[in-house]
C-alpha cells in the first residue's frame, strides 16, 4: 500500500500537463485502475482483514484523488502565469495620438464661394457628372457640328455596338446645370452650382478632372452691370481685399455678349499676389444668357434675361492659398494634404473673414 501511495504521489507531482494527469487518474483509480482492483480484492478477504484494509484503501483512494485535483489546479495556474507573461499589457501607458484628416483646399474654397454667394442671395444647385450630350451641348447652343464640341476634349461613354443614340459624356463644364435648374425652377432664379468637370487634358495647369462653380441669375431687368458688380463683390470678399477686374470681350455659344474676366495680380519671386500690381490672370467666363439657352430651359426670352458665369475653383484655390502645382491637388499625398489642408472647424463665414 505504501509503495502504491509513493508511486502515484510521485507520478502526479511530476505530471507535465492535464493529459498526463488524466492518464494517471485512469491508471490509479479508473475502473480498472491499480487501486480499484485492490478494492475488489476486499471481497475475498476475511472480515478481520477487510476491517483493516477497507479504510486504508479508501483513505489511499481519497488521497490520490485530492492529489490529482490539486495538481490540476497547479497546472492551470502555471498555464495562466505563462499566458500573462506573454500578454502583459501596461494599461498606464499614454495613448497613441491619431492624426485627423484635413479638409481639401478645393472643398474649403467651395465652402467659401458658397458662403459668399449665399450672402448675395444665391442658392446651391447640383446636376449629374455624367450628362446627356443634349444638356452638355445642344441645350447650350452648341450643335453637333459646332467647333466648341471638338475644342472641349470631351470624354464620351461607351455605347453597345448597333446602339446609335449619341453617347453620354462626362460633363465638360457646369453649364448644363443652368438648363436643369431652369427646367426645375423656372424664373426668376439665382443659383450657383459647384462641382466636378472633365476634359481630356493633362499638363502643369490642366488635369482631366477639375472643378468649376457656375452662376446663373435671371430676372426681368438683369444686365451686364449686375454681373460686374456681383463678380467684383465676390472677388473682394473671397480674397479679403479690393480686387480690380478686367472684362475682355470673348465668345461662348451660350452667352451673348460674352466676357472673360481677369483679376489684378502681381508676380513676386515666382509667387502671385492678387489685388496688387499690373498683371492679369484669367479666372472665369461669363456673359448674358443666350435667348436660345433660355428657350431650351423652358423660359421665355421675351420676358426674362440675365447673366451666367463659370469660375475655375482649383485656380482660385491656388491663387488664394499659394499652391504652385495643380496636379498635386489630386495626388492624395498625405504630406501635401496635411500641409495645405484645413481643420474641420475652419468653417468659412463672411463675418469670420472666410478663412485664415
Residues that bind ligand PHE (CB under 6 A): 173, 175, 252, 255, 285-287, 308-310
Closer to ligand PHE at the Cβ: 68 or 316? 316
Q: Which residue's Cβ has the minimum distance to ligand PHE?
A: 310
Nearer residue to ligand PHE within complex by CB, 137 or 252: 252
Category of 143 on φ-ψ map: left (φ > 0), alpha (ψ -120 to 50) or beta: beta
Cα dihedral 55, 57, 58, 63 in deg (nearest 10): 120
Smallest distance from ligand PHE to CB 270, Å: 27
Decide whether 63 or 232 has the Cβ nearer to ligand PHE.
Answer: 232
- The answer to whether residues 255 and 262 touch, using CB atoms and an 8 Å cutoff, is no
* For ligand PHE, the closer CB: 288 or 354: 288
CB of 287 to ligand PHE, least distance (A): 5
The least distance separating ligand PHE from the CB of residue 255, rounded to whole angstroms, comes to 5
CB of 144 to ligand PHE, least distance (A): 18
Buried b / exposed e along 84-98 (16+ C-beta atoms within 10 A) = eeeeeeeeeeeeeee
**Residue 309 C-beta: closest distance to ligand PHE, Å:** 5
Q: Considering the complex, state which of residue 33 and residue 176 has its C-beta at the smaller distance from ligand PHE.
A: 176
Shortest Å distance, C-beta 247 to ligand PHE = 12
CB nearer to ligand PHE: pick between 82 and 201: 201
Amino acid at each position: 500500500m505504501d509503495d502504491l501511495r509513493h508511486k502515484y504521489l510521485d507520478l502526479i507531482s511530476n505530471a507535465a500537463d492535464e493529459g498526463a494527469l488524466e492518464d494517471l487518474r485512469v491508471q490509479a483509480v479508473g475502473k480498472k485502475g491499480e487501486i480499484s482492483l485492490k478494492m475488489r480484492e476486499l471481497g475475498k478477504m476475511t472480515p478481520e482483514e477487510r476491517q483493516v484494509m477497507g479504510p486504508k484503501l479508501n483513505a489511499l483512494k481519497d488521497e490520490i484523488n485530492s492529489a490529482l485535483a490539486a495538481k490540476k489546479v497547479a497546472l492551470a495556474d502555471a498555464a495562466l502565469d505563462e499566458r500573462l507573461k506573454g500578454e502583459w499589457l501596461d494599461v498606464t501607458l499614454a495613448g497613441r495620438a491619431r492624426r485627423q484628416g484635413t479638409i481639401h483646399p478645393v472643398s474649403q474654397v467651395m465652402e467659401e464661394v458658397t458662403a459668399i454667394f449665399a450672402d448675395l442671395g444665391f442658392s446651391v444647385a447640383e446636376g449629374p457628372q455624367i450628362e446627356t450630350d443634349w444638356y452638355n451641348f445642344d441645350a447650350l447652343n452648341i450643335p453637333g457640328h459646332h467647333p466648341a464640341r471638338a475644342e472641349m476634349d470631351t470624354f464620351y461613354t461607351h455605347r453597345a455596338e448597333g446602339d446609335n443614340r449619341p453617347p453620354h459624356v462626362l460633363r465638360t463644364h457646369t453649364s448644363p446645370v443652368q438648363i436643369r435648374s431652369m427646367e426645375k425652377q423656372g424664373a426668376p432664379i439665382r443659383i450657383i452650382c459647384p462641382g466636378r468637370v472633365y476634359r481630356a487634358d493633362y499638363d502643369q495647369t490642366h488635369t482631366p478632372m477639375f472643378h468649376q462653380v457656375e452662376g446663373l441669375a435671371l430676372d426681368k431687368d438683369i444686365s451686364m452691370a449686375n454681373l460686374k458688380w456681383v463678380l467684383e463683390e465676390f472677388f473682394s470678399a473671397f480674397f479679403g481685399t479690393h480686387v480690380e477686374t478686367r472684362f475682355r470681350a470673348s465668345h461662348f455659344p451660350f452667352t451673348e455678349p460674352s466676357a472673360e474676366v481677369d483679376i489684378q495680380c502681381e508676380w513676386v519671386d515666382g509667387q502671385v499676389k492678387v489685388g496688387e500690381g499690373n498683371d492679369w490672370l484669367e479666372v472665369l467666363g461669363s456673359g448674358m444668357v443666350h435667348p436660345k439657352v433660355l428657350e431650351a430651359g423652358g423660359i421665355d426670352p421675351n420676358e426674362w434675361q440675365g447673366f451666367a458665369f463659370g469660375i475655375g475653383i482649383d485656380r482660385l484655390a491656388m491663387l488664394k492659398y499659394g499652391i504652385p502645382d495643380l496636379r498635386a491637388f489630386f495626388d492624395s499625398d498625405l504630406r501635401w494634404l496635411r500641409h495645405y489642408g484645413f481643420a474641420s472647424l475652419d468653417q468659412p463665414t463672411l463675418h469670420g473673414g472666410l478663412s485664415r
